[in-house]
Amino acid sequence: MLLPILCYPDKKLRTIAKPVEAVNDAIKTQVKSMFETMYDAPGIGLAATQVDFHQRVIVIDVSDEQDQPLCLINPEIIEKSGEIEWEEGCLSVPNYYESVKRANDIKVRALDQNGEEFEMEASEILAVCIQHEIDHLNGILFVDHISKLKQKRLKEKANKQARL
């Protein structure tokens, strides 16, 4: 089932997601709908916050063929190193791209969609995507990483679009 994606400056995007207590059928259904929504958008990552579901769930697929789905429930970054600057976009901030600096290499611990705990290492675009989506779970948007002037211009443009 396709889910509506919240768009900036919707205040719900600032909600801090709560940890998932149990990976049950409702969570599994949510994950499935999030993957469908992400692929349809199309995007490479989607946080539950973006679809107005305020629990710590993210889905990602950075593969060109969109055949490497990755679900992280209650993700936490346990190590990070290096630095990379990447031009990011966001399904909640359509048609806007900006360079953001993030850690190049991360190690993350999470639950998969079956509730099994795992750890993984990621670098470059996958690391950027994971950090971007975890930010969403913490009520942070990638535009929070850009200059105040660019934020002001973007907010004015978004508010104008919302009125149309």
pLDDT digits (tens, 9 = 90+) for 37-73: 999 999 999 999 999 999 999 999 999 999 999 999 9
Q: Are strands 105-111 and 70-81 parallel, antiparallel or unpaired?
A: antiparallel
What does pTM read for this prediction?
A: 0.95
Q: Which residue has the tokens 């992400």?
A: 38
Q: For residues 113 and 33, give the distance between their C-alpha atoms in angstroms, rounded to a whole number.
A: 12
pLDDT digits (tens, 9 = 90+) for 64-115: 999 999 999 999 999 999 999 999 999 999 999 999 999 999 999 999 999 9
pLDDT digits (tens, 9 = 90+) for 15-33: 999 999 999 999 999 999 9
Domains of the chain: 11-163 (3.90.45.10)
**Residues with a known catalytic role:** 133
